[in-house]
Structure 1
């Protein structure tokens, strides 16, 4: 059996959440299973998060398509968002909890410079408990 080295074997580590970072990654909420009767409220809170975060750092936002991007931008018009710190990515998702299925960024010290990498989780929807969420691993 051939095994690949782990990121730790290669000298990479995941930085602590509270350390300075360049961006926060979010996925636009829309799933009524995740947010039963609360999708509009979740979206409103995400708009507030985007506004507050964009004042200090880049926000990388996953939306399903250009139409969803246009809706989000229209809703942000009334808010003090720093548009230069907001980037959209047209990547269809089911769930908004990107930490469960999205990449984690890893760092490795290269003698004074830092190398950035990421790992790609193979998300199994908590052992198949929520089969509809397996789509987020694609």
Structure 2
């Protein structure tokens, strides 16, 4: 039985999210309250287009309901953090349209000092149980934000995640590819050397690809393009474009590369380089939920996505609070594909 990961633009049954709770990512009550408002804004935006289930920690359901409204489904499970893309399962389907869930090993983004994962390492299995689908266990330390597929055999990866010392120090590139292909049904991996500069600071993932590049359709990939030479991502984004323009996908097509200009802001309030990126969007049924930054380039990015997805509504949601915690809209959402007999 062969499973494959459908592309994100394929129809969804629902979206899964996790509710922010007290943890090292949010250093005080004010930050936690702001995070909950931001997560709720994303959940409500997605809920306009498809069902949403939010997993919350014990005793947090009432507060979550107040912010999420009556239309979002809630379930209670023990949680450490709130990044469902990474702690949740990667859903895959077989040739008969049956659904399963890949449970990668999760170790706090490479066993980082601040991270906790006692409960988050079990969330993928909890979500699979709630979705009533079988689990495919993987020995690979990996997260959902570290992969992106086109649904036709191609997957994007980064050296500093799958081959990083905190995740899979004893694995070769060939071994990683073999396991990724076995679980996702892919046949070709395109490797980028690293992620954006800001993703290596506190709360960073050490190079997730979903903030760098993503397939928009088979043969087409959107790429983060930092326009200001003062930012370290100026050179990095040129590297990504050069690599991807020299690649073909699993079907032998040369990749069309669409550069998405980064927001104009370069540093956060603490003076650190930002990794604000429009690439970290989420495709749900009928919409593109796009990171907004209160930036002049927000509308430029929105227009690019309108051209790429003319049949979808582009919805901008302020993602600055989410990025302050270490990720974006894609990082806090996880799609469950629709299967035969559903949407």
Shorter-chain-normalised TM-score: which range? 0.7 to 0.9
Q: Which residue of 2 is the match for residue 119 of structure 1?
A: 102
Give the distance between the partners of 1:131 and 1:45, measured in 2 at CA: 22
- When normalised by structure 1's length, the TM-score is 0.75
Runs of 4+ in 1 over 3 A off after TM superposition: none
1:42 is matched with which residue: 35, 42, 54?
35
CA RMSD of aligned residues (A): 2.0
- Going from structure 1 to structure 2, the CA distance change for 1:17 and 1:35 (only over 3 Å counts) comes to farther
| Partner SS, residue 17 of structure 1 | coil
- The answer to whether the 8 A contact 2:57-2:76 is kept is yes
In structure 2, the gaps of 5 or more residues are 123-343
Larger radius of gyration: 2
Aligned residues: 119
Give the distance between the partners of 1:35 and 1:17, measured in 2 at CA: 29
Relative contact order, higher structure (CA 8 A, sep 6+): 1
In structure 1, the gaps of 5 or more residues are 1-9
Q: Which residue of 2 is the match for residue 137 of structure 1?
A: 121
- When normalised by structure 2's length, the TM-score is 0.32
- The answer to whether the 8 A contact 2:15-2:53 is kept is yes
| Partner SS, residue 42 of structure 1 | helix
- Going from structure 1 to structure 2, the CA distance change for 1:15 and 1:31 (only over 3 Å counts) comes to farther
Q: Which residue of 2 is the match for residue 16 of structure 1?
A: 7
Pairing of 1:1-138 with structure 2 (within 5 A): 10-37=1-28, 38-65=31-58, 67-76=59-68, 81=69, 83=71, 86-110=72-96, 114-130=97-113, 132-135=115-118, 136-138=120-122
Q: How far does the alpha carbon of each residue in 1:52-109 deviate from its partner, in whole angstroms, 9 at most, with x for none?
A: 11121111110112x3111111234xxxx461xx221211111111222211110112
- Going from structure 1 to structure 2, the CA distance change for 1:45 and 1:117 (only over 3 Å counts) comes to same
